[in-house]
Structure 1
Amino acid sequence: MVSYQPHAMGAAVRNDNFIGMGLYTPTEAGRLLHVPSKKITRWLRGHSVKGKRYERLWRPQIVMEDDAIFLGFRDLMEMRAADAFMKAGVSAYMIRRAIEEARKYVDDERPLSTTKFRTDGRSIFLEIADENNDTKLLDLFRRQYAFKRILDASLKGVEFDGIAPSRWWPLSRQKGILIDPQRSFGQPIEAESGVPTATLAAAAHTEGINNASKLWRVSRQAMRRAVEYEDLLQAA
């Protein structure tokens, strides 16, 4: 069974069929984000190392009673931003602190992936780095261009509804692959046809692109886009 958090911007709203939320296992999320699924589980469940407990970065949108981890679309976008900061050398501890501080003025449970954090997040990192005497982090975020580069990369291809992410073009709009929590439970779709890329690619591998395009009544170009995207995911 599934339980849901109280309603807040960016938090889960009770919805028994997950429509509009997106639904991803850590493996699926890792495949889309190119982040190891074990890391995703660790960041969202918390973990212990040598007797020391490291709490999760935030509470997932979807909470299973058997403690299984699932992500919603907003979790996916927040994870993408968190991973970008970690790759730049920011510790999970500092990211957790940044999330906690950002929630005080960004009305969203997942602030890293919002437009408000894009404009104000640098000052948050500077403040918590100064409190912890973290010279490396202070040096990184004193340089405005460094913060902008990290965050812009993490939000590339994202469309927003107000301050919150609403859709994601994982390659680019021109490549025609879309991730939209309102469609196909947030699985990647070929934008022209609206069919999941995994479905089209499987049909193309079985029937060939020409026959599959006729069976699914989509263009050969759409089939090729789906195949190329799925091949990229498999290769990552």
Structure 2
Amino acid sequence: MNNESLVGIGVYTPAEASRLLGVPSGKISRWLKGHEVKGRHYERLWRPQVDIGDERVYLGFRDLMEMRTAFAFMQAGVSAIMIRKAIEEAKKYVADERPLSTTKFQTDGRSIFLEIADENDDPKLLDLFKRQYAFKRIVDQSLKGVEFDGIAPSRWWPASKQMKIVVDPQRSFGQPIDTESGVPTAVLASAANAEGLERAAKNWFVTTATVKRAVEFEHSLHKAA
């Protein structure tokens, strides 16, 4: 896979994905590569969009959004094994390799989890998914700030639209950018740290308010890590 084929997909290392999502990078690697625990092999949750051919794990934008939703369910007590089962089952109903982050899963996903929880005789998870508001809260929170093209996520506002910072796989390989100038927030924040707000704004042909927003956003990512 070359750079041209990555346009519109986005590309993130587990460390970069971790910075944006707050999910430990080691877990991201294990979940997307597969791993062994005490001699037992666990399959990956799904096949990542990006394969550069160096045997390392990379995520595309859709992987980023899917991981965000999967992790939200795990935090609610759903095991990675059940997440994988839900993904496989949901693929039958949603014509998408990454169904958890689709709008269709928002409406139909609860019944899928109920079926799997019942098959595994798990009272805790049965109770969780019987309560519709709990399922809705998990999904709504995991997809907060996400815009969709049809049923699939197309871009993400990781802070808010008012911050004018977007993660868009069509721009800068999916790195967080200032929406007006297209300059990555990491670049603006680094320039501000080295040169000050006003000098950074002048050198990058943006306003000081733009640089300040980028600095605040990057600081929030480091703080959450």
TM-score range relative to shorter protein: over 0.9
How far does residue 234 in structure 1 lie from its aligned partner after superposition? 1.6
Task: Compute the displacement of 1:38 (Å).
Answer: 0.2
- Residue in 2 aligned with 1:194? 182
- In the other structure, the counterpart of 1:56 is 44
The structure 2 residue matched to 1:169, chosen from 137, 154, 157, is 157
Residue from 211, 214, 229 that aligns with 2:202? 214
1:12-23 equivalences in 2 (<5 Å): 16-23=4-11
TM-score by length of 1: 0.92
1:190 is displaced (CA, Å) by: 1.2
Cα distance, 1:192 vs. partner? 2.3
Q: Deviations over 1:40-84 (max 9, x none)?
A: 000001111111111100010112433210000000000000000
Residue 89 of structure 1 and its aligned partner are, at CA, apart by 0.3
Alpha-carbon distance, 1:203 to partner: 1.0
1:162 positional shift: 0.3
Tell me, yes or no, if structure 1 residue 47 matches structure 2 residue 35: yes
> Counterparts of 1:65-104 in structure 2 under 5 Å?
65-104=53-92
SS of the residue aligned with 1:48? strand
TM-score by length of 2: 0.97
Structure 1 residue aligned with 2:130, among 102, 121, 142? 142
SS of residue paired to 1:62: coil
**Partner of 1:165: helix, strand, or coil?**
strand
Q: CA deviation at 1:119?
A: 0.3
User: How much does 1:15 deviate?
Assistant: 6.8
**Can you list the C-alpha shifts for 1:27-49, whole angstroms capped at 9, x where unaligned?**
00001000110000000011111
User: Are 1:33 and 2:21 an aligned pair?
Assistant: yes
Letter in 2 for 1:38: G
State the identity %. 70
Question: In the comparison of the two structures, how many residue pairs are matched?
Answer: 224
Q: AA paired with 2:66?
A: E
Checking the alignment, whether the CA contact within 8 Å between 1:170 and 1:178 is kept in structure 2 is yes
* CA offsets 1:82-107 (integer angstroms, 9 cap, x no match): 00000000000110010000000101
| Uncovered stretches (5+) of structure 1, i.e. residues with no partner | 3-13
In the alignment, which residue of structure 2 is the partner of 1:115? 103
Which residue of the partner structure matches residue 12 of structure 2? 24
Measured against aligned partners, the alpha-carbon deviations of 1:146-166 in whole angstroms (never above 9, x if no partner) come to 000000000000000000000
Counterpart of 2:15, as a letter, is T
